[in-house]
Chains A and B, each alone.
Chain A
Amino acid sequence: MNMQSIGRPTRPQTASTDVSAEHAQGLLQTEPLIFELGGWDKTGVDLPEPERGAADDLGDLIRAAPIALPGLSEPETLRHYVRLSQKNHAIDLALYPLGSCTMKHNPRLNEKMARLPGFGDIHPLQPQSTVQGALELMDGVAHWLKTLTGMPAVALPPKAGAHGELCGLLAIRAAHEARGDARKRVLTPTSAHGTNPATAAFVGYEVTEIAQGPDGRVDLEDLAAKLGPDVAALMLTNPNTCGLFERDVLEIARLTHQAGAYFYCDGANFNAIVGKVRPGDLGVDAMHINLHKTFSTPHGGGGPGAGPVVLSEALAPFAPQPWVVKDEDGWRLEEHARGEAERGFGRLSAFHGQMGMFVRAYAYMLSHGSDGLRQVAEDAVLNANYIKARLGDLMSPAFPDGPCMHEALFSDAWLEGTGVTTLDFAKSMIDEGFHPMTMYFPLVVHGAMLIEPTETESKAELDRFCDAVRGLAEAALGAGSDVAALERFKVAPIKAPLRRLDETLAARKPRLKWSAPS
């Protein structure tokens, strides 16, 4: 191989690491950063040598100074990232009970389909006559989403749940403004996801919180009192973040509409009701659907997601561009705010949405069918209630009366006097081989522990999980009188690649990139 070195930096090749051999953990070795491993003129990609003078037309636009990016050969690169991967926990390893996140199995067929050249290797701006299958697939996804939600329209562009919220609220704002009735406030329950108030503020609304009743649901009186002529929308998650169905939802919708406001539903928890009830029948005007939750597109360590928004008749004219239409020439993208599209609030991002996620979600939809999706909701709810039943005698269910939906919520009341906190308990689960549940959310329940198993867990795995949590819970309950037992929780996790990390230090002295040791 003849690797020409271009603009070779003059920095030393490697830096010493501050990690010592005594911490090496068997096969889970400490892995340096790429900047400590790589060589400044090393590369794992063979490319032809550029011609002499290839950039002699660019003059002073050329980057002269070193960029300071090390490289590695392919085997070294692969080993580095595979080693890193082994420091991650994943759904493919065990039940991943993160409440509100719907960590379900990600079928590999979906990955394979998204990588077909006809989907993965097409450009967003190539002639539409050459992407008819892609547009047809987008329309297929739209059809399934509309049918499952009982809503007449859907905006596909949003790139994640929070982006969907933005889309929904911008459509709501445009609808109010079109009537010359600009409104100021958005109502959200105190239990809402943080994205709800953040999005409302992002769109320029003031946020007013509405109270939650003792049954974990919206306090209707408080809602009625806070609705008024300046309220643009109610943002409500249903099933809500306590894992409960808002049983007064029809009345909530009626009150909201009566006040001239729109009902925005946060669809993060759609997995619990897909195929069982249609949000359109509940009076919802807009709802985002996290394809990376209900429709199994992988979370990927924090994205990408996709957050299409279904819209009611009233909001449909205000959808953002682009959208798919069919005319005599075939499928077409409506990309510009002209003609009928002029009322739309504009464009959310450069292209048409998360096509890669649409392909995966569509494969998931076709695989499950209408019968399978209904079973998804039933099994998700069954699994959560099973966990609630199996743990309810030791731990304290936040809302013991009646069934939960797809997730079981516990408070920390049962830990009182033990010295063990929700954080300690959650971290101890790592030592038992499970990812911790969502903790301290929703904010309305003290020391909340929110467990969402999803439908893709077997009874055996649920039992293994419940046995482990019960064992831990018994130990925690004994910790109040046993210093050694308490210690186990305080130091947890000990069987993880790293022990508890100092988050305060990270925030106080932010080090957000590697720099060469001086």
Chain B
Amino acid sequence: MRYLPLTPEDRAQMLAAIGAVDIDDLFTDVPQSVRLNAPVDLPAHLGELEVERQLSALAGKNRPAGAGPFFCGAGAYRHHVPASVDHIIQRSEFLTSYTPYQPEIAQGTLQALFEFQTQVAALTGMETANASLYDGSTACGEAVLMAARITRRSQAVLSGGLHPHYAAAIQTLARGPGIAVQRLAPAVDAEAAVIGAIGADTACVVVQTPNVFGQATDVSAIAEACRANGALLIVAVTEVVSLGLLKSPGEMGADIVAAEGQSLGNGLNFGGPYVGLFAAREKHLRQMPGRLCGETVDAEGRRGFVLTLSTREQHIRREKATSNICTNSGLCALAFTVHMSLLGEAGLRRLALLNHQVARKLKAALASVPGVQIPTTRFFNEFAVRLPTPAAAVVETLARRGILAGVPYSRLEPDAGLDDLLLVAATETTCDSDIDAFAKALKEVLA
């Protein structure tokens, strides 16, 4: 077995040193009645070549995004990740180290996290950011819990433009502390409707921009309404590249930002692992969930970084912790940071503009297809398309023709009565020929 270094002679010598006759002597605490005397009923070990064959065969049954025209978004986006990002995150020192609890020998991870926090704060326009959570949806759930702790109120209002899976993740997390979650009806231009739902016991309002239908909204008025009522505004962002072009949530008055960072540095990976970005106003620092990396000095006065304010966290505070989170998305956060450092502000702004430009081309092409309407009016790189027939069937038909045409809204929420809506996204990876092929095929399918 290539991964197990002990030889039979080693094992015999070690057992002798321990004073055990055989390996069973070391398992005597396991009740005899439940001890397995032979391997379980699964295949025996395989060489690297054979494993690679089996897994490649499975991979071969999937249609990669890069294999043809591709327009899926709805919370996960296909961007080009520079080769050096993947090289860095495969460095042994980053890949095979643990959580940086021993800062003297983990400055690489810690400094990168400090850079990550600074980048996230700048992008979201917030004062402070943590060292990542699992993903955007769980970050959103944590944000709602944090708002309830801060305001000591027990209701949350979710906009109808919030990704339905984010709403579901919030509802799951809200169950523990007993937060009543009110989700407004899904609609393309849904964000402003939350204002009417804010009440005296509203802890927070969750809006998304651009929302699940791609609609981008200036949420400043919502922020004002929240402030007037003592509620906090949580802004969810599923496409972080949009922040290179659009006003930041912080600029518009957000109290907490929960975002999905997958777009930078991280591939689609069928939904995970991704990286949750979490940023807030500094005054709420001590109610933040997750790890925080802070600057300090060593015994010789040199700058260094440590995990800090851990009295919020489960390993110190146990049942009084702000969250139960332990392992987060460290390596995905590193990929985010390396990609962001490569782009820089100039690169990010250009990338964002290109995304928008391509999406506008896609919109023009699809809008020219008879029977198709585009209800999304202001968007970044994603918008909703209203088809004359149920979108799910159209997507299946187009998939058979080699085109991954986007995400039918009914996939996210089957009973919303929005079966005719198709969510489409375009990024810098989308070519003109992809757009032409999509529009042409859609026209034929709808004819």
CB distance from B423 to the nearest CB of A (A): 9
Q: Given the complex, which residues of A lie within 8 Å of B303, measured CB to CB?
A: 17-19
Known: A136-B58, A199-B324. A43 touches B34 (CB 8 A): no
Chain B residue with Cβ nearest A364: B3
One of B65, B112, B269, B360 near A81 (C-beta < 8 A): B112
Are A512 and B344 in touch, CB under 8 angstroms?
no
The listed residue (B65, B313, B356) touching A122 by CB distance below 8 A is B65
Tell me whether A213 is interfacial, beta carbon within 8 Å. Answer: no
Residue interface mask B2-40, A partner, CB < 8 A = 1: 111111001101110111100101111111011110011
Indicate if A385 sits at the interface (CB-CB under 8 A): yes
> Who on chain A is nearest to B80 by CB?
A45
The 7 closest A-B pairs by CB, nearest first: A71-B344, A118-B59, A351-B271, A133-B61, A300-B331, A124-B271, A302-B330
Tell me which residues across on chain B come within 8 A of A385, comparing CB atoms. Answer: 14, 18, 20, 26
A27 touches B (CB below 8 Å): no
Contact of A350 among B25, B50, B136, B354 (CB under 8 A): B136
Tell whether, in the assembled complex, residue A159 and residue B251 are in contact, meaning their CB atoms are under 8 Å apart.
no
Binary CB contact string for chain B from 388 to 407 against chain A (1 if under 8 A, 0 otherwise): 00000001100110001001
Q: Would you call B111 and A87 a contact (CB within 8 A)?
A: yes
Interface residues of A in 121-165 (CB under 8 A from B): 121-127, 129-134, 136-137, 140, 144, 147-148, 159-163, 165
Residues in B with CB closer than 8 Å to A84 are 107-108, 111-112
Q: How far is the CA of A424 from the CA of B378 in the complex (A)?
A: 59
Contact with A along B314-337 (1 / 0, CB 8 A): 111111110111111111101001
Asked if B395 and A127 make an inter-chain contact with CB atoms under 8 angstroms apart, the answer reads yes
- Give Cα A514–Cα B35 distance, bound, in whole angstroms: 55
The answer on a CB contact under 8 Å between A119 and B59 is yes
Whether A255 sits at the interface, judged by CB under 8 Å, is no
Instruction: Specify which chain B residues have a CB less than 8 angstroms from the CB of A350 in the assembled complex.
Output: 75, 135-137, 163, 165-166, 169, 260, 271
Residue of B nearest to A84 (CB): B108
B36 touches A512 (CB 8 A): no
For A204, give its contact among B128, B176, B246 (CB under 8 Å).
B176
Indicate which residue in A88, A113, A124, A347 contacts B106 across the interface (CB closer than 8 Å). A88
Contact A304 B327 (CB under 8 A): yes
A/B interface sample: 24 pairs, CB < 8 A: A44-B84, A55-B357, A61-B218, A67-B243, A69-B119, A70-B341, A70-B345, A88-B105, A129-B399, A134-B270, A160-B326, A193-B315, A347-B165, A347-B172, A348-B138, A356-B272, A363-B55, A366-B46, A372-B45, A374-B39, A496-B105, A501-B305, A507-B294, A514-B118
Contact B272 A355 (CB under 8 A): yes
Complex: A124 Cα to B51 Cα, angstroms: 24
**Which residue of B51, B61, B325 contacts A162 across the interface (Cβ within 8 Å)?**
B325
Q: How distant is the Cα of A121 from the Cα of B320 in the complex, in angstroms?
A: 40
CB of A514, distance to nearest CB on chain B (Å)? 5
The interface residues of chain B lying within 8 Å CB-to-CB of A80 are: 341
Known contacts A61-B378, A122-B65, A303-B328; A247 and B344 CB within 8 A of each other: no
Bound CA span A111–B51, Å: 13
Asked whether A88 lies within 8 Å of B108 as measured between CB atoms, the reply is yes
Number of residues from B at the complex interface, CB < 8 A: 205
A402 lies within 8 A of chain B by Cβ: yes
Report Cα–Cα, A306/B68, bound state, in Å: 30
Among residues 276 to 329 in chain A, which have CB atoms less than 8 Å away from a CB atom of chain B? 276-278, 281-282, 290, 292, 298-306, 320
Q: At the interface, is chain A mostly helix, strand, loop or mixed? A: loop
A436 touches B353 (CB 8 A): no
In angstroms, Cα B93 to Cα A118, docked, is 27
CB distance from B24 to the nearest CB of A (A): 9
Other-chain contact of B341, A4, A72, A305, A457 (Cβ < 8 Å): A72
CB distance from B65 to the nearest CB of A (A): 5
Which residues of A438-467 have CB atoms within 8 Å of chain B's CB atoms?
441, 455-459, 461
Using Cβ atoms and an 8 Å threshold, which residues of chain A touch B50? 366
- Of A6-14, A225-233, A413-421, the one contacting chain B is A6-14
Stretch at the interface among A257-265, A376-384, A471-479, A480-488: A376-384
Task: Give the one of A42, A85, A368 with max B CB within 10 A.
Answer: A85
Tell me the nearest residue of chain A to B308, going by C-beta.
A506
Q: A84-B108, A120-B267 are in contact. Are A200 and B135 (CB under 8 A)?
A: no
Which of A90, A304, A491 contacts B272, CB < 8 Å?
Answer: A304
